Structure formats: C-alpha cells, structure tokens
Amino acid sequence: MFLSGNFGNVLKLMLFLSAEGAVVLATADGVFMPGLLKKLQKVPSAPVEEVQEVVIQSRPSAPSDVFVLDQVVEVIDEEQVVSGVIYAASKVSLSADAVLGEAGEVSQQAKGSSKSQPSRVVRSAPTKAPDPLLDDNAPWWLSEQEPPVPQVEVLVPAAQEILENLLAMDSEKVLIADAVRKAVQGASDALRDEVRLTRKVQDQAERELLSLLIGKGPLAALYEDAGVTDVFIDSHRSVKVIRRGHAMETPFTFRSEQEYRLFIRSMLGSVQRSLDESSPIVDCVLEDEWRTRVNAIDPSVLEAKEPRLCLRIPRLQKIAFYDILQTKTLPPTLAAWLAEVVASGEANILVLGPAGAGKTVMTTALLSAVKSDERIITIEDVPELFVPTTHLDNLVARPANSRGEGEVTMPQLVKAALRRAPHRIVVGEIRDEEGRIFLRALETGHAGSIATIHAVNSRDALWRLLDLVASYEQAPQE
C-alpha cells in the first residue's frame, strides 16, 4: 500500500470493494483485513460431506410445512421417485409420499431397504417465505401479464392526442385527473360510431393514462420487482433491465413513440426539467419513494430517432450493519469492528471500488453507526446516500440551465460545508477538485469523515488522489 505526504495522517482507513465481491480493509499501518461483499446477496455455504438432515417439501395442499429427516446413514433405493426435494445429499433420494406418512411407516420402509438402516424420526417445521432480495427465480412478470383489451388499445392513443392539447393549455398537476377524464370522454365520443366502449373500458383507459403521467406507466411491474435495479429504454419498443446483476430483455413496450415521449416529458416535468436540443442530456432524481436516478439523452446527440432513458432504482436505501449481518455480507467480527471505528470517529474512511461494487451501499451502512448527536453534511452530485439522523444537511450539485447560468459545483459545496460547522463531512464521490479541498478539510479537523472514489485497488486510489491534488496545486515560483 502506498501512502504519500499527509495521506497517512488524513486517511486512516481505506475500504476496497472489488467487482468480484471481495472487501479489503487497508489501514495506514499497511494491515489488510479480508472480508466478503457481493451486492448484499446471500453467500451459499460450503458443501458438507456428512449430511445431517434432508428437507422435503410437503404436498401443495399443505405448503406451510416441511418435513425433515433427522438422520440418513445409508443410501436408499435410487429408483424411487423423488418429488418436492428441497435439499438432499448426493446419491440420497426419498419418496415424498413415504416421508409424508407416519414415522413408523417410514421406518418400516427404511428397514426393508437395508437391514442395518436405523429407524428415522420425521418432524414438522415451518417453511420460511423467500426474501425477494435474495430470490433468484425467474421474474413473475415474464409469465403473468394481462392480455391487452382491443377497445383500450384503440381508445388510449386517441385520448392521448386530446390530452396533449389540454395539457399544453394548462399543465398544473391538480388538473391532470380532470384533463385525463375529459380526454377519455372526448375520444369515446369520437369513436362511438366505430367501437363499442363500455364504462369499464373508459375507466381502464383513464387509469393507464394517469399511470403514464404521474406513475410509472408500463414500467410499474419492474418497480414492483425488488430484484430490478436498472432499467434501460432504447426506444418505445425496447425496454431492458438489470435484474440481480444480469441484463435481460422485458416484454414491456410503449404503444407508440408519441406515448414514450409523453412519458418522458411528464417524468422530467415533475422535477422541473426538460429534454430538448437546448438541454440534450438530463441527470436528475425523481421525487418518488425509490428516489429513482434518471439519465435521459435527446436523439439530437444520438444516432437514433428516439430519446434514451436510464433509470437506476436504489433498492437498499436504509441499510444498516444489521442488514449486512443478516445477508452474511461481512463476518460478524469485522462488521462489529467497522461499526466501532465509525462510531468512535477516530478514522477518516475512503471507500473505493469499481462501478457497481456497492460503494454507496457500504457508505450508507457505515453512516448508520454514527452517533445521533453528531452533525453530518453530505455532498453529492446526485443524491444517493441515506443518513438516519436529524442533524443532517444534504448538499447537491446543480448543472447550469439552458442559458448557462446557475451551476453549483462539488468544490463549491465542499467549501460551503466547511462554513456550516459539521462534525463529519461525507463526499458522495471524488472526481475533481473536491478531492483536494476534502483532504485539506481533514487536516483541520472533521474526524470520522467518509468519501468514495472509483479505483480498482488501494494503490490506484491513492495515486488518483495524488493526481487530483497535483493538478490543482500551483507550482512554486522561483
């Protein structure tokens, strides 16, 4: 590990998160402590040679119980039918019907298989519901989609044209529901001679239009899936996601390019942003319960005819050390040691790792150990951190408007934070001059501060910090 200048006094602890899930704690004394982190996913235990129990799921009529065989000594006839086996050792098979019978019948069947086979005791245990964050099964929305209603497919596009004209005259949120109702009614009157539209069809059309304007539209099912963390929309016909670390296609689409653009305009309008040629790239955070992070690109800077969206959905916002222990992300001793280090405030911590390694999640967990009577100021380019304390200031950078005015940079926010008497400073990510200002601030106090940086190892992180400091330091004049 490389330490230069005052870095050894300023950065007491460096926490490295690798893409493969390894955690390396590098202290100023050069001591490395290994741990384990893989996107807060449960780590499977190592296989055991001697199996102590076999778990077999009960019949569908009684899904709340499972039956456990306490002891298996010899291999039972492999030709028996295996049904509903959840966990079993290699070369061990059991008939579900036999296990679901009385304990005496199981013992009698076992004795018939082998003379040395001991009697077995069958006991009942409750089945735990799978954690949605740890469930690796195929998503439910691949097979549980409702078929489209032909009348709705005709009514909604006609209502959208009327709705856009109504919203152009008055776009107040309080009038959206009335505007949708008027648009659906107007489209129904225009199509009355061509299509038979019932009240049920009109109500469904109103719900879909409201979801498109103030909800998630066709993406609602993806938001309900706890495993989906990123949504990529390349066109109105192409919606892709990252689910549990794997990229996959989805069956969801928008009806037309017009509907897709209406969805983008309504979504960005909720946070007073717009996407056009004067503002071709938009980064913002939605004011929804997920705090969705949005990156939108106008087709004027793309080799495409439609805008593209990237939606990042932070699923783990209020994470603490308890959650890290529950998911076996870190060993209990290491997690306890980290919590004590953060609570004492004696070490400034730099969390580093490549993209997607879990730096934000780990930083949020570290901040959960801070005492409630300490004042914290977070400085971020995009608000991602959740700090469970009342003594908190969230400073967020802001890009310039279409006229090139109103920009607020990260270095400016770090300077402003120093004048607000914080106990700790948290920098969401060091990319530029804020790294030099942050290190200078640590030299004058603010012990226990935390920052993150992109790097593949501890040495590269320190070199990058050194480059940032050197690029903004003035050379001495002779």
Per-residue pLDDT of the chain (478 residues; tens, 9 = 90+): 233 334 445 565 666 665 444 444 544 443 333 333 333 333 344 443 333 333 333 333 333 333 333 333 334 444 443 333 333 333 333 333 333 343 344 334 444 444 444 433 334 444 445 555 445 577 888 887 788 889 999 999 999 999 888 887 755 544 788 889 999 999 999 998 888 889 999 999 999 999 999 999 999 999 999 889 999 999 999 999 999 888 999 999 999 999 999 999 999 988 888 898 888 998 888 888 888 989 999 999 988 899 999 999 988 777 888 888 887 778 888 888 888 999 988 889 999 988 878 888 889 889 989 988 899 999 998 888 888 788 899 998 887 776 778 889 999 999 999 999 899 999 999 988 888 899 888 888 888 999 999 988 888 888 988 888 888 776 555 5
Residue 402 has a pLDDT of 65
By CB atoms closer than 10 A (0-12, 13-18, 19+), residue 297 is middle
* Rg (the chain; Cα; Å): 29
Element (H, E) at 166: helix 150-169
Is residue 229 within 8 A of residue 246, CB to CB? The reply is no
CA end-to-end distance (rounded Å), the chain: 34
Residue 359 has a pLDDT of 87
Task: Please give the model's pTM, rounded to 2 decimal places.
Answer: 0.67
Residue 144 has a pLDDT of 76
Angle at 199 between CA 198 and CA 203, to 5 degrees: 120
